[in-house]
Structure 1
Amino acid sequence: MNEIKRQLQEVGSYMMDHDLAWGNAGNISARTAEDHFLITASGTYMGELSMDDFVEYCFDGTRNPQDRKPSKEIPMHQAIYEERPDIHAILHASPFYSTLIACSDVKIPSGWFVESMYYLERCERVPYHHPGSAALGEAVRGKAAKANILFLENHGVLVFDTSIKEARMALQTLEFACRMFITANGASIPMKQLPENTVQDFLEHSDYKPRRRWK
């Protein structure tokens, strides 16, 4: 348990140091058992997480009453863990460029560079619902099996993967691609996207990462 907390502390600092989080916005979690996960407490500052800033939460709603109040975004974290047994880490944040895209109708292509082909293979949009609401949790549930990156419209982004390290890489890749898109548009630089058959060949045969198998 302490090792998972340490890894979450590290990723929180990483997110803050690399402009992937700001203020006390966002929340992060990691699965600890089939039906349990650790999540940041309400009002925590991502860059200065202590061992007491995490709450272990069970799918049935139980938790240690001595723990702090968990993030109100429990519904969407739980929805992903329930729908995706392969997922072991979730990062919710509002990075500047990714959130700008989340507040638009823009679609970020995946076929620009190696990391985007893998990590941005499937991104989905979730219509706006109030943060922490059951409605948001159910909207996320409906998209969880279709992608590993969700743009929460007019809210932020939700990134989830098989490990804390992989989720961090996905979040950084997403922000980098969104920044590229916005910068290129502002400078009137036309972006060249790789053909779909090249992207699929990369995913199947490059051995960069094991190919994701979607439902």
Structure 2
Amino acid sequence: MPTAASVRAELQHTGKYMMQYGLAWGNAGNISARTEGDRYMITASGTFLGELDDADLIECDLAGGVYGAEGRKPSKETPMHRAVYENRPEIGAVLHASPFYSTLVACSSIDIPSNWFVETMYYLERVERVPYFHPGTEALGEGVREKAKAANILLLENHGVLVYDTTIREARMALQTLEMACKMLVVSRGSDIGLNGIPRDVEKDFLERAGYKPRRQWE
């Protein structure tokens, strides 16, 4: 079980990573990770992901308790994070961001293919859309709750994306894979370049037998 200190350090690294690779901008976005039991650590309201200090990360629990906040408030998007942790006990980290190409796709009706290459087959196996609700509202949290078990990538319409996985590292890789795939999708359409997908039976065989990652179990 990771300690609160190790989770804090990895979230700080992740915030810098997201800024460095164009996965976040300004003070948009919020990130979290489980610590122990029913607790998780989340960025405080109004933080800049690229420069997170210790006070910018607040520990909470699924019942709504807040620990060591020192006058700060957890991100207003906490309902989304809590909805994922409550419904997916195997999930260790949740990243919410608005990367350019992923957000462009979230503001459209374009579907994201999963069968382009190894990483998309695994990380983008299931992508769902959540209708627009005002950011930070319980309604948005409930919208996420309805789709949390159906995918590990949620496109928040006219808002951004929510990515969650077993560890912080895996969530980072999923977010970067999503942005790469969305960039390929947009650029190929603008350049009139058709992209060939891997046959679905081959994709299924890869997920079940290749051993690239442990097979996800879906309900």
Instruction: Give the alignment's TM-score, normalised by structure 2.
Output: 0.97
**Is 1:208 aligned with 2:196?**
no
Q: Which residue of 1 aligns with 2:118?
A: 114
Deviation of 1:33 after TM superposition, in Å, equals 2.1
1:171 to 175, 180, 183: 175
What residue identity is the alignment partner of 1:60?
A
For the residue of structure 2 that corresponds to 1:157, the secondary structure is strand
Q: Which residue of 1 aligns with 2:73?
A: 69
% identical equivalent positions: 61
Deviation of 1:66 after TM superposition, in Å, equals 2.3
Q: Which residue of 2 aligns with 1:60?
A: 63
Q: Distance in 2 between matches of 1:186 and 1:129?
A: 30
Deviation of 1:67 after TM superposition, in Å, equals 4.9
**Is 1:193 aligned with 2:183?**
no
1:43 to 41, 46, 50: 46
Per-residue CA distance 1:20-45 (angstroms, 9 max, x = gap): 00000000000112311100000100
Structure 1 residue runs of 5 or longer lacking an equivalent are none
What residue identity is the alignment partner of 1:32?
T
Are the aligned partners of 1:160 and 1:167 in contact in 2 as well (CA < 8 Å)?
A: yes
What residue identity is the alignment partner of 2:204?
Q
Q: Distance in 1 between matches of 2:196 and 2:48?
A: 39
Q: Which residue of 2 aligns with 1:137?
A: 141
Q: Which residue of 1 aligns with 2:160?
A: 156
Per-residue CA distance 1:117-171 (angstroms, 9 max, x = gap): 0000000000000001000000100000000000000000000000000000000
Structure 2 residue runs of 5 or longer lacking an equivalent are none
Q: Distance in 2 between matches of 1:35 and 1:165?
A: 20
For the residue of structure 1 that corresponds to 2:135, the secondary structure is coil
Q: Which range moves more in the overlay, 62-71 or 135-144? A: 62-71
Are the aligned partners of 1:16 and 1:47 in contact in 2 as well (CA < 8 Å)?
A: yes
What residue identity is the alignment partner of 2:44?
A
Deviation of 1:51 after TM superposition, in Å, equals 1.1
Per-residue CA distance 1:149-202 (angstroms, 9 max, x = gap): 000000000000000000000000000000000000010000101110000000
Q: Distance in 2 between matches of 1:83 and 1:63?
A: 20
Q: Distance in 2 between matches of 1:111 and 1:202?
A: 10
Q: Which residue of 1 aligns with 2:16?
A: 13
For the residue of structure 1 that corresponds to 2:9, the secondary structure is helix
Instruction: Give the alignment's TM-score, normalised by structure 1.
Output: 0.98
Count of aligned pairs between the two proteins = 215
Per-residue CA distance 1:32-82 (angstroms, 9 max, x = gap): 123111000001001011111101111121113525111000111000000
